[in-house]
């Protein structure tokens, strides 16, 4: 009887809600750093250069939408003790096939893009050392070695330092360009620009900043932090809000820079990562080389956090997928909740984790030399566009079903936000698929 009492007391202490506290913050910083890449900053800069402050409200709504998606993913992990892939697998075999095709093709093309994005600011900072391809490969290998030999705790600390660099640089630039605060506050009113395709451009800004598959990885980082049950729910929700407030600061700061430096002067920059190199040249002309170099350091921090974030987070998801697949094939009975296995570091030490790390790093180097194959890029674009509606709609399904404990299922607000997110990303998915040059594909 004494043993039973002791066991019950232990269970109560484990599941007693923890007070939300800043000292626990971690996975949110990781997801914010990974989700905001150089391409996101360029998209925001271009929105600012084209429309001034008009779409500031859209950037803020985008952060709110991402909060609801990441919160749902984290709530699934904590309330069930299961990972998101366990949830997807319960919906049918089609989710497995979608995930497999997605991570193989997406990882191959993304690996090249992430390495190139991380190499660009280094080449701009040290132009006489070596070419872009070699800088790109170096960043990929450094990312591989770092993630291979370090566990989540070290990974989180390094990401936090790099986020600090991103924060200082973007906020400094926003202050340096002296934003028009009156126009900025006016930009919080939901007004569409008087331009062709303004609705789609606005939806693109809402949906495009701060997350793709990294939103799904958030639940895995929550587990890797050691949060595995509902006692961490309040902590997770605070952590998630910090993530997207941080993302919002990055986005608003770069919109200020685009509105003041580019829109007011009528200066256009290229889309893609090279637009940030152009911005560094503009900064050098206006504020001096020290500001330009500081910006390039921030550009590198932005790109490299996305690289190592994907190297870690998506490899963690892939390792969980493989373990689930092996268990199902063997007809084995679960002896441990998958969330606890992630928390114990078993996935990070596994062969599939390291195999996917290698897949992200070395095969994509071929694309750095040969250019990206046309058909593969189209398939990559379609799969990338399809992932976010897949995530939103499957979370809506899982968290309104008996798969989740009743008290942690969606309420009206959660359902409304996930429906909005699902519809938003579905529209963007259809638009992106329709815009692909299919006539040249066949």
279-313 per-position pLDDT tens digit: 898 899 989 999 999 999 999 999 999 999 999 99
How far, in Å, CA of 311 to CA of 307, rounded?
A: 6
Do residues 52 and 21 make contact, with C-beta atoms less than 8 angstroms apart? Answer: no
Q: What residues of the chain score a pLDDT lower than 70?
A: 1-17, 19-21, 196-197, 208-211, 271-272, 332-335, 372, 442
Q: Which of 309, 284, 286 is nearest to 296 (CA)?
A: 284
pLDDT recorded at residue 309? 95
pLDDT recorded at residue 98? 93
pLDDT recorded at residue 9? 36
pLDDT recorded at residue 11? 44
Please give the C-alpha separations between residue 59 and each of 25, 187, 190, 257, in angstroms, as whole numbers.
23, 10, 11, 14
pLDDT one-digit tens code per residue, 150-160: 999 999 999 99
How many helices (H) and strands (E) are present in the chain, helices listed first?
20, 0
pLDDT recorded at residue 434? 84
Instruction: Return the exposure string of 340-349: e unless at least 16 CB atoms fall within 10 Å of the residue's CB, then b.
Output: ebbbeebbbe
| pTM to 2 decimal places | 0.91
> Mapping DSSP to helix (H, G, I), strand (E, B) and coil, where does residue 273 land?
coil
pLDDT recorded at residue 83? 95
Q: At what angle do helices 38-51 and 198-208 cross, to 10 degrees?
A: 150
The residue to which tokens 């789609």 are assigned: 200
How far, in Å, CA of 280 to CA of 264, rounded?
A: 17
pLDDT one-digit tens code per residue, 18-30: 766 677 889 999 9
Return all residues near 86 (Cβ < 8 A) that are at least 6 apart.
80, 324, 338
Backbone torsion region of residue 345, taken as left when φ is above 0, otherwise alpha when ψ lies between -120 and 50, otherwise beta: left
Q: Which of 59, 84, 31, 76 is nearest to 230 (CA)?
A: 76
% helix, strand, coil for the chain, step of 5? 80, 0, 20
> Mapping DSSP to helix (H, G, I), strand (E, B) and coil, where does residue 347 land?
coil
């Amino acid at each position: 009887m004494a043993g039973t009492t002791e066991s019950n007391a232990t269970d109560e202490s484990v599941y007693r809600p923890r007070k939300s506290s800043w000292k626990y913050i971690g996975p949110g910083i990781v997801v914010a750093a990974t989700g905001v890449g150089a391409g996101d900053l360029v998209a925001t800069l271009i929105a600012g250069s084209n429309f001034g402050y008009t779409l500031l409200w859209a950037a803020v709504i985008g952060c709110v939408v991402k909060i609801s998606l990441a919160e749902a993913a984290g709530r699934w992990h904590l309330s069930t003790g299961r990972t998101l892939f366990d949830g997807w697998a319960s919906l049918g075999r089609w989710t497995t096939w979608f995930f497999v095709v997605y991570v193989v093709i997406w990882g191959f093309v993304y690996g090249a893009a992430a390495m190139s994005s991380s190499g660009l600011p280094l080449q701009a900072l040290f132009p006489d050392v070596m070419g872009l391809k070699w800088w790109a490969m170096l960043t990929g290998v450094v990312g591989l070695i770092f993630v291979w030999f370090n566990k989540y705790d070290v990974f989180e600390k390094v990401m936090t330092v790099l986020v600090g660099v991103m924060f200082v640089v973007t906020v400094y630039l926003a202050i340096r360009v002296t934003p028009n605060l009156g126009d900025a506050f006016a930009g919080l009113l939901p007004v569409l620009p008087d331009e062709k395709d303004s609705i789609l451009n606005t939806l693109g800004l809402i949906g495009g900043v701060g997350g793709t598959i990294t939103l799904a990885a958030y639940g895995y980082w929550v587990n890797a932090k050691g949060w595995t049950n509902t006692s961490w729910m309040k902590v997770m929700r605070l952590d998630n809000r910090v993530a997207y407030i941080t993302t919002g600061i990055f986005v608003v700061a770069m919109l200020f820079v685009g509105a003041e430096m580019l829109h007011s002067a009528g200066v256009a920059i290229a889309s893609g990562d090279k637009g940030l190199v152009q911005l560094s040249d503009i900064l050098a002309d206006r504020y001096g080389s020290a500001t330009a170099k500081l910006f390039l350091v921030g550009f590198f921090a932005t790109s490299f956090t996305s690289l190592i974030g994907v190297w870690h987070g998506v490899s963690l998801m892939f390792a969980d997928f493989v373990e689930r697949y092996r268990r199902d094939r063997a007809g084995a009975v679960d002896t441990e909740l998958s969330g606890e296995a992630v928390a114990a570091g078993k996935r990070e030490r596994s062969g599939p984790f390291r195999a996917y790390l290698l897949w992200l790093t070395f095969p994509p180097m071929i694309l750095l030399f040969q250019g990206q194959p046309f058909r593969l890029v189209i398939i990559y674009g379609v799969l990338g566009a399809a992932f976010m509606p897949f995530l939103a709609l499957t979370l809506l399904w899982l968290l309104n079903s008996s798969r989740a404990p009743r008290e942690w299922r969606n309420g009206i607000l959660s359902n409304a936000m996930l429906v909005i997110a699902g519809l938003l990303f579905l529209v963007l998915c259809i638009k992106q698929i329709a815009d692909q040059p299919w006539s040249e594909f066949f």
